[in-house]
Structure 1
Amino acid sequence: QQNNSKYSFNMVWSVDKNYEHEFIRQGLNYSNRFTLSWLWKMATAKYWVTNSRLPLWLPKPNKTIYIQTWHGTPLKRLANDMDVVRMPGTTTEKYKKNFSKESSKWDVLISPNKYSTEIFKRAFHFNNTVIETGYPRNDILYKKDIEPYKEKLKKKLGLERKKVILYAPTWRDDNFYSKGNYKFDLKLDLEMIKKDLGNQVVILLRMHYLVNQDFDLEDYKEFIMDVSDYPDIRDLYIISDILVTDYSSVFFDFANLKKPILFYTYDLEYYRDNLRGFYFDIETNAPGKIVDNSDDLIEELKNLLKNPKLHENYARFYNEFCLYEDGKSTKRVVEKIFGKEIGRES
């Protein structure tokens, strides 16, 4: 909730009941999704704000302004730019048709950079208002007192005096148990990592929220932690010394911190040519070294732990994708949207 002379709003979080404990813990005003109370709030709200699609059956009231923040700068092809959709429970034609129906309800779309604006407009068939402000969620990465905050987090998680490696891969559209319930094959040689790096590092394993996989880490619990349920990935960015990912948009966000990134892309050709496809040439433009096997990954990690030098592409990448993100994106969004009436373009 926010009440001052300039703005006065009553903010309600839309919450999956399985996660309401976190909102209770933080004392936040929330409503459980799909309840009668939630439906009433959705029907009477002045603004909707979300970072993904809402159910297609949910009608948007004429007086409601729907603000779509989306959830990342895209590397992999989206929506109508996808040649073939391999997700369960849909077809390529149906997926694209439903996506366009949903995006037609959006009044305002927040974009982090010019690159994303061009892609979003085309891939989402979006013709309403786009504002390029950077992502408000990344403002915290520019906190003035980020070092004390980092040390406090490391202490809270018991990670003092350790180098932290964050492994945050994405999901594979065709590797699933059922709709919205994905598998992930952990292609890491944990024995070798334990032998070579176990005393120096802690690996934080962060799965995509669509992945439902239990990993047997009992023999490696001293140096690897599954933090998939940790409520805020930005904290994990802040405490990590190195990011290891594949095709996840997390590397666009992490790059704001100007810390080393490694790309572990053991299935790059298949993912690029058959599964999703990319918007830019990751092999040429990635802000970090690309490796395709666990041995090379360990070797590169050892190199970066000794010498945490940024990749030669990093500065150019930062200037193209992170330049709007300066800690003031939230201020720009609030001023542009809530400071005046923003609606559909005529």
Structure 2
Amino acid sequence: MKEEFKTGIWVFADRKDMANDNAEHLYRYIKDNNLKKDIYFILNKSSKDYPRLKADGFKLLHPHSILFYYILFKSTCIISSHLDNYLLRVFGKNTLKNKKMIFLQHGVIKDDLSHWLNRYKIDIMLTSTQDEYNSIVYNDNYKLSKNEVMLTGLPRFEALKKKSKEIKTKNIILIMPTWRNSLVGGIDKKSYKRKIKDVFFESEYYKNYSKLLNSNELQEICRKYNYKVIFMLHYGMLNYKDTFCYSDNIEFISIEEDIQKYLCMAKILITDYSSIAFDFAYLKKPIIYFHFKEKQNTHFYSGGYFSYEHDGFGKVCNVLNEIYYELEQIIKNKCNINKKYKNRYNIFRHCNDINKKNFKIIEKIFY
């Protein structure tokens, strides 16, 4: 099986309708360095990324096509940044029986996701920090062990670093909240109508971000310091994009665009619990966490090793006034990292600089 794994067909995937994540960047590395020829990348033909990857010489598979099923059946290895059933359970529970599954991850795990990850057969999984690695390998909640989990960093970090040298930063405040599991069901899927349930409008999520985006205080900061706000909803919340109203100097950008481009352009990030903060921290730029009170746990995971107060890369704000104050302080300080958080940035960046060899480690496994 080991020899088959190395010489057989490898199938890569990010989301089936979106690329530009770890699978794309690892595929590109393998292709550009001519490490293996029998590789395919899964992507819907309607995706905005499809023409770009096709022009770059990617061998693309449209999901659910006859060729997709044939190649997937013949493949010896599935390499993905997501654990999606269309890919991992397409032939039922035995889909991965004669295949290796390499989980590249979509971000950095900071919470306990054992109840989710334990559902899947994972042969290799990448992690980015020592704390993340330890929280999985030395946690009895997880079925994974040091035999499967590797401390390598993420393939997209290298691409992000390169892109940051090519893209000039601008006076942009990037607002990127993560999703809420309890609110994702706000769309009436049976009738395929964009029908928003009252529960969404009554949620603290909607109320707080609506107030933030339409606040006079945020507008005044933008006018005073010549800043612009870009608002990006999580992939899982895109159905709600038309429910938000935007004031002047605020632009909505779909998450389907090049996220790395906007991470490089922005000077400040406001998020809540999104792991995108690690990408922004990798670029050594200031972050504000917005943790307003919510009536219930609206996420699907439970807390893990990561404490935003002790491990986070910026101030945790519970109310809007704290955000306005912190935002103005950061701008006045020319977006330099506060001394309080500088060591946390350095530790994270140092860890991933050491893990530059991530591709070399992967090469060692694969070849």
Give the TM interval when normalised to the shorter protein.
0.7 to 0.9
Given that residues 177 and 234 in structure 2 are in contact (C-alpha distance below 8 angstroms), is that contact kept between their aligned partners in structure 1? yes
Q: CA deviation at 1:9?
A: 2.2
Between Structure 1 and Structure 2, the one with more helix by share is 2
Aligned to 1:57: 89
Unmatched 5+ stretches in structure 1:
81-95, 155-161, 341-346
Q: CA RMSD in A?
A: 3.2
1:177 maps onto 2:185 in alignment: yes
Aligned pair partner of 1:108 in 94, 113, 124: 124
Q: Secondary structure at the match of 1:324?
A: helix
Q: Which shows bigger deviation, 202-211 or 308-317?
A: 308-317
1:41 maps onto 2:58 in alignment: no
Q: Secondary structure at the match of 2:221?
A: helix
1:77 maps onto 2:112 in alignment: yes
Aligned to 1:336: 364
Q: Secondary structure at the match of 1:304?
A: helix
In the alignment, the residues of structure 1 paired with residue 300 and residue 164 of structure 2 have an alpha-carbon distance, to the nearest angstrom, of 41
- The residue identity in structure 2 corresponding to 1:205 is F
Aligned to 2:255: 229
Aligned pair partner of 1:68 in 97, 103, 107: 103
Q: State the Cα deviation string for residues 185-241 of structure 1 (Å, max 9, x = none).
A: 124152311233246111111111111212466652x41111123433222211110
Q: CA deviation at 1:50?
A: 0.7
In the alignment, the residues of structure 2 paired with residue 273 and residue 108 of structure 1 have an alpha-carbon distance, to the nearest angstrom, of 26
Aligned to 1:91: none
In the alignment, the residues of structure 2 paired with residue 196 and residue 3 of structure 1 have an alpha-carbon distance, to the nearest angstrom, of 46
1:125 maps onto 2:143 in alignment: yes
In the alignment, the residues of structure 2 paired with residue 48 and residue 274 of structure 1 have an alpha-carbon distance, to the nearest angstrom, of 25
Evaluate the alpha carbon distance shift between residue 321 and residue 166 of structure 1 in structure 2; reply closer, same or farther with a 3 A threshold. Answer: same
Instruction: Kindly tell me the number of residue pairs found equivalent between the two proteins.
Output: 307
1:241 maps onto 2:260 in alignment: no
Evaluate the alpha carbon distance shift between residue 12 and residue 73 of structure 1 in structure 2; reply closer, same or farther with a 3 A threshold. Answer: same
TM-score by length of 2: 0.73
Given that residues 136 and 329 in structure 1 are in contact (C-alpha distance below 8 angstroms), is that contact kept between their aligned partners in structure 2? no
Evaluate the alpha carbon distance shift between residue 4 and residue 298 of structure 1 in structure 2; reply closer, same or farther with a 3 A threshold. Answer: closer
Q: Which shows bigger deviation, 182-191 or 222-231?
A: 182-191
In the alignment, the residues of structure 2 paired with residue 218 and residue 272 of structure 1 have an alpha-carbon distance, to the nearest angstrom, of 23
Q: CA deviation at 1:263?
A: 0.9
In the alignment, the residues of structure 2 paired with residue 43 and residue 269 of structure 1 have an alpha-carbon distance, to the nearest angstrom, of 46
- The residue identity in structure 2 corresponding to 1:297 is I
Unmatched 5+ stretches in structure 2:
1-27, 190-195
Q: CA deviation at 1:169?
A: 1.1
Q: Secondary structure at the match of 2:261?
A: helix
1:26 maps onto 2:58 in alignment: no
- The residue identity in structure 2 corresponding to 1:169 is P
Given that residues 213 and 246 in structure 2 are in contact (C-alpha distance below 8 angstroms), is that contact kept between their aligned partners in structure 1? no
TM-score by length of 1: 0.77
Evaluate the alpha carbon distance shift between residue 271 and residue 41 of structure 1 in structure 2; reply closer, same or farther with a 3 A threshold. Answer: same
Q: State the Cα deviation string for residues 86-145 of structure 1 (Å, max 9, x = none).
A: xxxxxxxxxx5xx4231xx221111112211222344541144222111111112332x7
Aligned to 1:15: 43
Q: State the Cα deviation string for residues 160-201 of structure 1 (Å, max 9, x = none).
A: xx5111111111222233599995512415231123324611
Q: State the Cα deviation string for residues 24-49 of structure 1 (Å, max 9, x = none).
A: 23323211222322121111123211
Evaluate the alpha carbon distance shift between residue 77 and residue 45 of structure 1 in structure 2; reply closer, same or farther with a 3 A threshold. Answer: same
Evaluate the alpha carbon distance shift between residue 271 and residue 287 of structure 1 in structure 2; reply closer, same or farther with a 3 A threshold. Answer: farther
Q: CA deviation at 1:292?
A: 1.5
Aligned to 1:146: 164
Higher relative contact order (CA 8 A, sep 6+): 1
In the alignment, the residues of structure 1 paired with residue 313 and residue 265 of structure 2 have an alpha-carbon distance, to the nearest angstrom, of 20
Q: CA deviation at 1:69?
A: 0.9
1:291 maps onto 2:317 in alignment: yes
In the alignment, the residues of structure 2 paired with residue 174 and residue 273 of structure 1 have an alpha-carbon distance, to the nearest angstrom, of 7
In the alignment, the residues of structure 2 paired with residue 63 and residue 173 of structure 1 have an alpha-carbon distance, to the nearest angstrom, of 33
Given that residues 189 and 294 in structure 1 are in contact (C-alpha distance below 8 angstroms), is that contact kept between their aligned partners in structure 2? no
Q: How many percent identity over aligned positions?
A: 22
